[in-house]
Amino acid sequence: MNLRTTPARLLAMPLLASVLALAGPLPTATATPAAPSADPAALPELVVPGRPLPQPRTETLLAAGTKGFLHTTQDATFAWTAYDTGATTVVGAYDPGQTDPGLHGAGSDVTVDMDPRQPSKVWKLQDMASGSVTVLNTPDTASLRGVYGDAVLALTNSSASAGRSTVFLRADGKGGTSVLPVANGQDAGVEWGWTDYLGGDADEAALGTSVNGEYRIGLADTHTGAVRVSPPLPKPWGGDQICQALTAVDAAHIAWLGGDCKVHILSRADLNAPEKTIPVSYYDQPLALGLSGDWLLSVGRPPYDNHESAVPVERELKATPVGGGAPVSVLSHASPTIVQAPDGTALVEGGDTGADWTVRKVTAAGGAAPSTIPMNYKVMPESYRLDSLNLSANTLISAESGNSLGAGFYGQQVTLGSPSTMSARRSLGTTGFLDHSISCGGSDSCTDMKGTGDGRVVHLSIRGMIVRRGQEAREINLDTLPYREGIVVADGRFVLLDTSQYPGSSLAVLDIDSATPDTPIATASTAIGTIDGGRLLTPGSTPGEIVVRDLTTQQTRTLQTGKDCRITHLMSAGGWLYWDCSFDGPAGSAGLLRPDGTSRPIEVPARAVGMGNGFLVYAEFGAARSTVVDFHTGIPVTSSLKTRLSQSSLFNPWSVDRFGGGLVYGDSHQNLHLVNVISPGTTFHTVSPSRLLDTRDGTGRTGTDKVPGRSTVSVQVAGRGNVPAGAKAAVLNVTATETDGPGHLIAWASGSPQPTSSNLNWTTSGVTTPNLVIVPLGPNGKINLFNASPSTTHLIADVFGYYTDDATGSTFTPVSPDRLLDTRDAIGRTGTDKVPGRSTVSVQVAGRGNVPAGAKAAVLNVTATETDGPGHLIAWASGSPQPTSSNLNWTAPGVTTPNLVIVPLGPDGKINLFNASPSTTHLIADVFGYYTDDATGSTFTPVSPDRLLDTRDAIGRTGTDKVPGRSTVSVQVAGRGNVPAGAKAAVLNVTATETDGPGHLIAWASGSPQPTSSNLNWTTSGVTTPNLVVVPLDDAGRVMFFNGAWTGTHLIADVLGYYV
């Protein structure tokens, strides 16, 4: 049986930021990310194809070379595709607005990799066919104007009339860059420079400019800089222009559509030869021009835009003889994009139907009319456009447009796992869709649809804000807030609006469940803020300070990040706060924030663009991927996504689940990609119990002295007791014995910061107290045990199983608690006598309590009660040798002592319980779940211990009163402590403390009938008693705790892991 975790690969980024957890006091210690990996592991994705439309999409053609062509892919990247194989390679990270073909290559397979938005002047010429790269160190004032073979055409200052400002740049073969000025033109003693860049090839660049009201075209030699200049020509654009300007340049001709609605054609061989003209109609003017042999190619304007048409609406591709004559049809339908290839042909996109839309080569051999040859690249049909997405608590809402009959909002349920699944889409109606589409469709404001985490989404409308739950939608009029720039975040009933245009306020918080949801309950004069757990968090007036405002009480306090820098970004999810001051000074650290303001820093990279429950998302500019840093276990781990996400969702909308472990994005083909970000769960392996630590006899530690107070013992787990190297977590029974005073013990992974949640508590000297723990292992396979008592104690640790990150072990299925043994009532055993000392009870498990035949192990709460003297109990699989490690210890007569055990089942589905005491006792065994080899069961993910409930400090419950006797507390688990929405069960360490009398506690899933089996028992007042519990969660991720005592007690619950 087994557990699963993604290998740690950390993101390399130059700056750091910080995460602070909103939850109990932690010591100040830093967890530094491990060494960066150049190639983070790719996260698996579920891809759901987009809903197709009959119309083909347009992918703009940018350049055609001898081996392939450059084109857009309708997202934030460009791509080069080889003619022979159809294989596509992403090219750099261009600004997607730069779609002028001249900038990206002209007649060759060489393109430039640069970011026009960055100040760097290092340009990389990439030969896409060979893979070779040439680096150009360009002048400071250079701006790109085109790529011509191995040369780059650049403008070297802001004024084209200020001397020789147009140059060719190319590698000089000596590691430097040669600068070749392009000759200016002269006319009647007037010198002028070039302002227009029309196209060309590896030998010549076609340039143009207006001089004294006349237009000139020049052909600049890319090797000498000399220019051949045409006589004065009609202006192609500007002034009285009524037709759209277009140009085309091939080996024989230069063609341009002028403002006079005529196509003017010059001979490249002789610019002084008389030009030829072809008139076009203003109402039928082309959207694209090309040349092939002695033919002019053109694609007209579509007469209408009908996405529901069964045939493509694009106009036909026509060819008109350059020397004059009637046009002929070349292709029935074509997209308005044409580029010239160096062999005299042209490339177009088109076909007879949307299904056969391909890139085609246009040839005109031997003077015959042009024809087309399909290339090895198919352009996919258009799809309903994904305007925006929101994934919240495993519910996906999409706003889709593209067809009047199908536009609107749609909902799907997602299930994260291996593999992940997504339910069928269902329509949620169109209420508010027009408003959303106007503000969101095709623009980067699409990010304003936000999930609240309780099944609702909110988005802006013209009049205010829409609150949507399924097919129900209501509008909140926000005339009182006339300036609504967007929704920053939504969290339950609270929505944070950006009102940065509003005088005196930049942020406003609305309570959408109040009687006045249009009236802000809080405002802030900053544009930086977030909401988490009913708290508004904004930067303070002092560098490195965060102001925390309770939105219920309106009380405020401050949190110090420890960095002397101005915070420029805040995000929150799952009780964690990400802050970033990378734009104002040094990088910050990250930490977990408790209500008292203390934190444990966890360093993470800066400039995250998204945050989910336990992970951060980063855009890698310059690469067609993003990275995810998963820190939900307390140790940052980096993986990669197959797309580049950014703050803008213009080209591929995306959403991070703030309340779960998922991320969803749309690609250029409108396909949905669902990514399970959180590391996959682990599977369980049982082992024969083995003692790894016993300080009484020097096992696992040198010497036999007791463990001093306030000190730590490091225990090697992996490689001992049949636990292999690479195990991710271990199941241990840890016992404190021969205690010298009250105290508690904390267990955690070696190499990780020490948590504050206890695993074991004892209240006096001379006691023996065990508890089952599931603890992650450090990279070295070790765990740490901290004796938090001021006095000494002996410690014992027995291993009962381990988890690995493969599928070879067993998965877990929780069940409603069921009593399998109670010797007081003859349940599971004949008679009601106590179990004699030194005797064994056999208990049938499989086939009872919803545990199936074939189960490999069971999770049981075993209790010794009405004891007649001190003793201990050993549990093991029927048919196997009896081990020596105890599962349960008691130190006196008349006590009731429980402990959770995970015990293998024998071939007959039974376990044995050995009463190792010389005196009698009653025994009780309640089943809470089982492990099988069924892959449909749940896998386990350990997390850094996090406090979900502490009634002493009002954590997880309002007020600090004790829990009254015979009353119930509801605890929200999912969405807190790194437990994602959709978790099936949680592993909690539950503690009763400051008890006012004897009693017991029952834990179960909210919404289910209360069982009778107890998880925790205490026998007197003033004690502190913990026990590990594995408890199912309801659909909302909640559990219930029933105080079965007649008197009050405080309750504490720390989460240690979850099953999904």
Q: Tell me what pLDDT residue 147 has.
A: 87
Give CA 725 to chain center in angstroms: 30
Torsional sign, CA 818, 821, 827, 829: positive
User: 493 with 452: CB under 8 angstroms?
Assistant: yes
pLDDT of 798 over the 50 cut:
yes
Q: Tell me what pLDDT residue 292 has.
A: 93
Q: Tell me what pLDDT residue 67 has.
A: 94
Give CA–CA dist 377/360, Å, rounded. 9
Per-residue pLDDT band for 651 (boundaries 50, 70, 90) equals: low
Least confident of 144-158, 363-377, 769-783: 144-158
Could you please report the per-residue DSSP string of 1023-1051?
--EEEEEEEE--TTSEEEEEE-SSS-BEE
Least confident of 182-186, 876-880, 1000-1004: 182-186
> Residue range 66-89: average pLDDT?
83
> Residue range 338-349: average pLDDT?
92
CA-nearest of 59, 57, 61 to 340 is 61
Number of helices followed by number of strands (H, E) in the chain: 1, 87
- The torsion of the CA quartet 144, 149, 150, 156, rounded to 10 degrees, works out to -20
Please report how many Cα atoms fall inside a 13 Å half-sphere around the Cα of residue 666, on the Cβ side. 28
pLDDT of 229 over the 70 cut:
yes
Neighbours of 2 (CB within 10 A): 26
> Residue range 15-43: average pLDDT?
38
Q: Tell me what pLDDT residue 590 has.
A: 46
DSSP annotation of 444: G
CA-nearest of 378, 521, 417 to 86 is 378
Q: Tell me what pLDDT residue 830 has.
A: 95
Q: Tell me what pLDDT residue 847 has.
A: 94
pLDDT of 1018 over the 70 cut:
yes
As beta bridge partners, residue 143 has 155
Q: Tell me what pLDDT residue 631 has.
A: 66
Q: Tell me what pLDDT residue 28 has.
A: 29
pLDDT of 61 over the 80 cut:
yes
> Residue range 463-479: average pLDDT?
89
863 phi/psi in degrees, rounded to 5: -130, 130
pLDDT of 1011 over the 50 cut:
yes
Least confident of 505-519, 856-870, 903-917, 939-953: 939-953
User: 1013 with 861: CB under 8 angstroms?
Assistant: yes
Torsional sign, CA 378, 382, 384, 388: positive
pLDDT in tens, 662-686: 899 887 678 889 988 866 667 888 8
Residue 270 is encoded by which pair of tokens?
Answer: 């002789």
Q: Tell me what pLDDT residue 35 has.
A: 30
User: 1038 with 972: CB under 8 angstroms?
Assistant: yes
pLDDT of 623 over the 80 cut:
no
Give CA–CA dist 608/775, Å, rounded. 30
Give the type of residue at 96. Answer: P
15 phi/psi in degrees, rounded to 5: -120, 160
Could you give the percent of the chain with pLDDT greater than 90? 35
DSSP annotation of 1047: S
As beta bridge partners, residue 148 has 151
Residues written for the chain = 1060
Give CA–CA dist 1055/407, Å, rounded. 43
CA-nearest of 205, 119, 113, 192 to 159 is 192
Give CA–CA dist 427/400, Å, rounded. 11
Q: Tell me what pLDDT residue 50 has.
A: 80
Q: Tell me what pLDDT residue 649 has.
A: 46
Please report how many Cα atoms fall inside a 13 Å half-sphere around the Cα of residue 552, on the Cβ side. 6
Please report how many Cα atoms fall inside a 13 Å half-sphere around the Cα of residue 468, on the Cβ side. 31
User: 607 with 580: CB under 8 angstroms?
Assistant: yes
Least confident of 361-375, 424-438, 472-486, 877-891: 424-438
> Residue range 270-280: average pLDDT?
91
Least confident of 525-534, 646-655, 840-849: 646-655
pLDDT of 161 over the 70 cut:
no
Give CA–CA dist 419/422, Å, rounded. 10
Residue 1 is encoded by which pair of tokens?
Answer: 């049986």
User: 683 with 808: CB under 8 angstroms?
Assistant: yes
Q: Which residue has the higher pLDDT, 808 or 224?
A: 224
Please report how many Cα atoms fall inside a 13 Å half-sphere around the Cα of residue 7, on the Cβ side. 9
Q: Tell me what pLDDT residue 442 has.
A: 38
Give CA–CA dist 694/700, Å, rounded. 7
Give CA–CA dist 989/858, Å, rounded. 18
User: Which residue reads 């892991």 in tokens?
Assistant: 1057
Least confident of 646-660, 726-740, 793-807: 646-660
> Residue range 759-763: average pLDDT?
84
Q: Would you call 466 helix, strand, or coil by DSSP?
A: strand
Per-residue pLDDT band for 52 (boundaries 50, 70, 90) equals: confident
Q: 772-794 b/e with 16+ CB inside 10 Å = b?
A: bbbbbbbeebbbbbbbbbeebbb
Per-residue pLDDT band for 430 (boundaries 50, 70, 90) equals: confident
Q: Tell me what pLDDT residue 20 has.
A: 39
Per-residue pLDDT band for 16 (boundaries 50, 70, 90) equals: very low
Q: Tell me what pLDDT residue 239 has.
A: 53
DSSP annotation of 439: H
Residue 797 is encoded by which pair of tokens?
Answer: 């640790």
Q: Tell me what pLDDT residue 346 has.
A: 95
Distances (CA, A) of 273 to 231, 233, 266: 9, 12, 7
> Residue range 740-761: average pLDDT?
84
Q: Tell me what pLDDT residue 115 has.
A: 53
Q: Tell me what pLDDT residue 211 has.
A: 75
Least confident of 22-31, 828-837, 946-955: 22-31
Q: Tell me what pLDDT residue 273 has.
A: 93
Least confident of 129-143, 513-527, 644-658: 644-658
Give CA–CA dist 36/13, Å, rounded. 9
**Strand residues in 763-827 grouped as ranges (E):** 769-776, 782-787, 794-804, 811-822
Per-residue pLDDT band for 975 (boundaries 50, 70, 90) equals: confident
Mean pLDDT taken over the chain: 81
Give CA–CA dist 153/860, Å, rounded. 75
Give CA–CA dist 272/249, Å, rounded. 17
Most confident of 4-18, 83-97, 767-781, 837-851: 837-851
Q: Tell me what pLDDT residue 54 has.
A: 72
Neighbours of 607 (CB within 10 A): 20
Give CA 965 to chain center in angstroms: 44
Q: Tell me what pLDDT residue 119 has.
A: 46
Please report how many Cα atoms fall inside a 13 Å half-sphere around the Cα of residue 4, on the Cβ side. 21
Q: Tell me what pLDDT residue 620 has.
A: 64
CA-nearest of 886, 852, 847, 894 to 870 is 894
Q: Tell me what pLDDT residue 949 has.
A: 94
pLDDT in tens, 294-318: 999 999 876 655 555 666 767 889 9
Residues 6+ apart with CB under 8 A from 458: 449, 450, 452, 465, 466, 467, 468, 487, 490, 495, 512
Give CA–CA dist 29/38, Å, rounded. 27
Per-residue pLDDT band for 123 (boundaries 50, 70, 90) equals: confident
Q: Which residue has the higher pLDDT, 467 or 726?
A: 467
Per-residue pLDDT band for 626 (boundaries 50, 70, 90) equals: confident
Q: Which residue has the higher pLDDT, 33 or 852?
A: 852
> Residue range 685-702: average pLDDT?
93
Least confident of 244-258, 309-323, 400-414, 637-651: 637-651
Q: Which residue has the higher pLDDT, 470 or 1?
A: 470
Give CA 392 to chain center in angstroms: 12
64 phi/psi in degrees, rounded to 5: -130, 130
User: 843 with 872: CB under 8 angstroms?
Assistant: no
